[in-house]
Amino acid sequence: MTSTNEQISTTLVYPYLNHAVRMYEEKYASRADVDAGMRFGCGYPVGPLAATDAIGLDVVRDALAARFAESGDPLHRPADLLERLVAEGRTGVAAGRGFYTYADGEPVADEETPSADDAPQLRHEITRVGVVGTGTMAAGIVEVFAKAGYDVVFVGRSDDKLAGVVRTITKNQDRAIAKGRGDEATKEAVLGRLTGATSRDALADVDLVVEAIAEDLEVKRELFADLDRICKPGAILATTTSSLPIRECAAATSRPEAVIGMHFFNPATVMKLVEVVTTADTAPEVDETVRALCARTGKVAVSCGDRAGFIVNALLFPYLNDAVKLSEEGTHSLTEIDAAIKEQVALPMGPFELLDVVGNDVSLAIQKELHAEFGEPGLAPAVTLEKVVAEGRLGRKTGAGFHDYA
């Protein structure tokens, strides 16, 4: 007999797995990048394609088919690739082949496994990096590059903002020293690589500039037009946007081939993942250089194209939205749903705990973008998500969201 917790996890997790299969089927991202995205971007113990192999593609397919028969939601219809692999007998770990290939239950190299020769190389020389912004994300990116040995020029609106970045990095370095993970010499070296400026003209000689300013398309377009004027020929222009079209930033420049997405995850000093996002115009050597640069800074780069949600948000937020819709049915409490996911899937947080950490306003905005991009009725934001945002219950940052934090 299936337990309540198993029912909850199956209801929420299997559509997420199906979405991941479709993402891979569409060649939007490789199997390795789909799985690495969720492991390193969300802290999941296993990626969705590897998880499907472990459960059994036939098991997942049958459960989704039953769900689709009940809901009629196209998002629940088993992906064509899932059907095809099951028909070929590639049902996962137990069969020795699914999305990956297995021997004695362990994954082994196959035709899709990258070789050492596939490792990206720096096709542009990168010695000096620029960062625009002084917020939490910007300060984290500055520290990531400085710790990796790069001279960093960071630009903010005032000397106070610039000083705040230095204070943040100093505090982080002092904390590392206190934990035995650093020393004063390393701290001084990191701080010695920093140059703050209140004028964007200070970015004239950087090899790559990363913007981490407000998620406002017009503000970003103005910035990219200015960077195009200021930065030397050959400089790479990157955006950390998590939601806006990178092609729109590129269109504001005369060098769309040099514009790329570098979506760091917060906190940038801790989270390993960077989604490297290319537009139709991004030059292959720019893409390869950025992926190689990520590796040199200790990050895991995953590659994808310029569409809403990229890899991680496109897989994560529909699952969170589905959790809200499940709660609206009134059969399970928020606490029960959170507990079931942590128990059954070993995720670090339940969906409502995670929504409150991310911010329900942020979650709603992303879900709206996904709904607009893909047009699936099943991606429409849950009514209760709209309600908590309208009531100002945005999560931990306001002291109340789906849970209370008084």
We report the CATH number of the domain holding residue 139 as 3.40.50.720
CA dist., res. 342 & res. 321, Å (int): 17
Same domain, 190 and 325: no
Q: Name residues whose C-beta falls within 8 Å of residue 379's C-beta, 6 or more positions apart in sequence.
A: 75, 318, 321, 367, 370, 371
CA dist., res. 273 & res. 37, Å (int): 7
pLDDT at residue 118 in the model = 86
Same domain, 142 and 263: yes
406 located within any domain:
no
Q: Which residue has the tokens 């920093």?
A: 194
Q: Which domain holds residue 318?
A: 312-398
Catalytic annotation present for 242: yes
- Residue 355's nearest CA partner among 316, 315, 311, 328 is 316
Same domain, 200 and 83: no
- Active-site residue among 242, 303, 321, 360? 242
Same domain, 334 and 235: no
405 located within any domain:
no
Same domain, 167 and 278: yes
Same domain, 136 and 202: yes
Same domain, 340 and 212: no
pLDDT at residue 38 in the model = 98
Same domain, 29 and 107: yes
Catalytic annotation present for 263: yes
pLDDT at residue 1 in the model = 45
Catalytic annotation present for 327: no
Same domain, 144 and 249: yes
121 located within any domain:
no
369 located within any domain:
yes
404 located within any domain:
no
* CATH number of the domain to which 369 belongs: 1.10.1040.10
Catalytic annotation present for 285: no
Number of structural domains found in the chain: 3
C-alpha separations of 14 from 112, 156, 260, 326, 353 in Å? 24, 44, 32, 14, 20
- Active-site residue among 18, 313, 360, 363? 313
pLDDT at residue 7 in the model = 93
Same domain, 321 and 299: no
Alpha carbon 146 to chain centroid, angstroms: 22
- Active-site residue among 19, 76, 263, 371? 263
Q: Given 113, 137, 169, which residue is the final one in a domain?
A: 113
- Active-site residue among 275, 288, 353, 369? 275
89 located within any domain:
yes
Q: Given 305, 332, 356, which residue is the final one in a domain?
A: 305
Same domain, 349 and 200: no
Same domain, 268 and 141: yes
Consecutive 10-residue runs of the chain (406 residues): their mean pLDDT? Answer: 84 97 98 98 96 98 96 96 98 98 96 90 96 97 98 98 98 95 95 98 98 95 98 98 94 98 96 98 98 98 97 98 97 96 93 97 95 96 98 97 94
CB neighbours of residue 180 within 10 Å:
7
